[in-house]
Amino acid sequence: MDQFITRLRQHPGVRLGFRQGPPEADIGQQPQFIKTPQGTEARPLKHALVPPDLREFRAQVKSVALFPPPPNSPPKPNGWTIPSTDYWLSDTVNEALVHSDDDGDEYLRRVFVLAHSDRLGVIGVDTHPERLGWIGFYWYQLNLSDGGYPIVAHGFREWLERTLEAGPEKFYWEDDRFTDLGPAIPEDSGYNGPRAR
């Protein structure tokens, strides 16, 4: 992981923030509620299992900006923000997109937001044991019950590497050469492929 992080530090499209000491909320514990940047209370990690590659990465890296725009410039289409470890994985996809874990899709109660896009979508990491660490792309639509969300990687590192390879202008899963990995919600009848959005 150290070599991977060194490569990221050298990439012109990546801005990393490094941790200084232990995280506010250690992995696997049930910490006190904390304030998110939006001013809401959140309990980081909830009951989530954390995939090993993500755990190792976040043990060193506090925050990430992928393809951040220059000052006073519009955001890049493939720009992403991975929030600080002070409150990472504090929101499920339901909470991020419909502002309630009681609404939305029941399966998405164990899919946590990993990164936010400037294109009104989020990257979620699945914590169900049978799909632990799988990465999906999600966007707002009514109560999320229409589905159609694609799996875009089978792990955090794969998603990050492929995002950087794609460059700042386009999601890699929108490319015709991308191999369909299936729906992010098992047995999703609304799924029509990764480019159907």
State the angle between helix axes of 2-10 and 156-166 in degrees (0 to 180), rounded to the nearest 10.
Answer: 20
Tell me what pLDDT residue 149 has.
92
Asked whether 125 and 82 are in contact (CB, 8 A), the reply is no
pTM recorded for the entire structure: 0.83
Q: Amino acid identity, residue 183? A: P
Domains of the chain: 2-15+42-174 (3.40.1580)
Lowest pLDDT segment from 11-15, 30-34, 108-112 = 30-34
- pLDDT per residue as tens digits for the range 40-53: 444 444 445 778 88
One DSSP character per residue, the chain reads -HHHHHHHHH-TTEEEEE--SS-SS-TTS-PPPEE-TTS-EE-TTTT----HHHHHHHTTEEEEEESPPPTTSPPPTT-EEE--TTSTT-SBHHHHHHS-SSSS-GGGGGEEEEEEETTSEEEEEE-SGGGTT-EEEEE--TTSTT--PBEEESSHHHHHHHHHHH-TTS-GGGSTTPPP--BSSTT-TT---TT--
Tell me what pLDDT residue 53 has.
86
The alpha carbon dihedral of 127, 128, 131, 135 has a sign of negative
Q: What is the mean pLDDT of residues 88-114?
A: 79
- pLDDT per residue as tens digits for the range 54-97: 888 888 899 999 999 888 988 888 999 998 877 777 788 888 88
Q: How confident is the model at residue 108 (pLDDT cuts 50, 70, 90)?
A: confident
Q: What is the mean pLDDT of residues 3-15?
A: 93
- pLDDT per residue as tens digits for the range 134-187: 999 998 776 666 778 999 999 999 999 999 999 999 999 999 999 999 999 998
Tell me what pLDDT residue 52 has.
84
